[in-house]
């Protein structure tokens, strides 16, 4: 990784990408976990926490616009809600299991069950209201 930072303005949101040897990559907050087909059951379904999962893909413009909001929610709810992202192209089994047909899709899990879902780009205050109902 070369470690060069480039600001990226995405509508009203700002994010940062890091220049690596292969190009620019989205830089996630350290508070956002990466979920996969391999760790989903343990990290989400068997977790005692409320878990917000952002289903996304690299090519999805609205997903990239939502990323700073997801990062902010992870910071805002640190210690109360686990927040993570699942790339649907790299992890199709979980996306198929939960019938994720459009992205971005956010699913909120509590006790291993989906308690809320939001499909499409959503404002941070809307997502906070969804989360607040379950913590």
Output the CA–CA distances (angstroms, integers) from residue 94 to 28, 87, 91, 116, in the order listed: 21, 10, 6, 16
**32, 51, 53, 60: the active-site residue:** 60
The CATH number assigned to the domain holding 77 equals 3.40.30.10
In a domain, 6, yes or no: no
The answer to whether residue 63 sits within a structural domain is yes
Which residue is catalytic, options 28, 51, 53, 63? 63
Q: Which domain holds residue 63?
A: 29-132
The model's pLDDT over 5-45, given as tens digits with 9 standing for 90+, comes to: 333 333 333 333 443 343 434 556 789 999 999 999 999 99
Would 18 be classed as within a structural domain?
A: no
In this structure, is residue 101 part of a structural domain? yes
Query: Is 60 designated active site?
Result: yes
Domain-embedded: residue 128: yes
128 counts as catalytic: no
Claim: this prediction has a pTM higher than 0.85:
no
Question: Is 95 inside a domain boundary?
Answer: yes
Return all residues near 85 (Cβ < 8 A) that are at least 6 apart: 28, 32, 33, 34, 35, 53, 54, 55, 56, 70
Per-residue model confidence as pLDDT tens digits over 67-121 = 999 999 999 999 999 999 999 999 999 999 999 999 999 999 999 999 999 999 9
DSSP conformational letter for 71:
H
Q: What is the count of structural domains for the chain?
A: 1
């Amino acid at each position: 990784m070369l470690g060069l930072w480039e600001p990226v303005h995405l509508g009203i949101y700002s994010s940062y990408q890091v220049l690596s040897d292969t190009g620019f990559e989205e830089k996630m907050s350290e508070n956002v976990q990466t979920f996969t087909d391999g760790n989903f059951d343990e990290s989400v379904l068997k977790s005692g926490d409320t878990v917000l999962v952002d289903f996304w893909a690299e090519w999805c413009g609205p997903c990239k616009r939502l990323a700073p909001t997801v990062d902010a929610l992870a910071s805002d709810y640190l210690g109360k809600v686990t927040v993570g992202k699942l790339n649907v192209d790299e992890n199709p089994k979980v996306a198929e299991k939960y019938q994720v047909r459009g992205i971005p899709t956010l699913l909120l899990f509590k006790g291993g069950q989906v308690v809320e879902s939001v499909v499409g780009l959503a404002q941070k205050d809307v997502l906070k209201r969804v989360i607040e109902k379950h913590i």
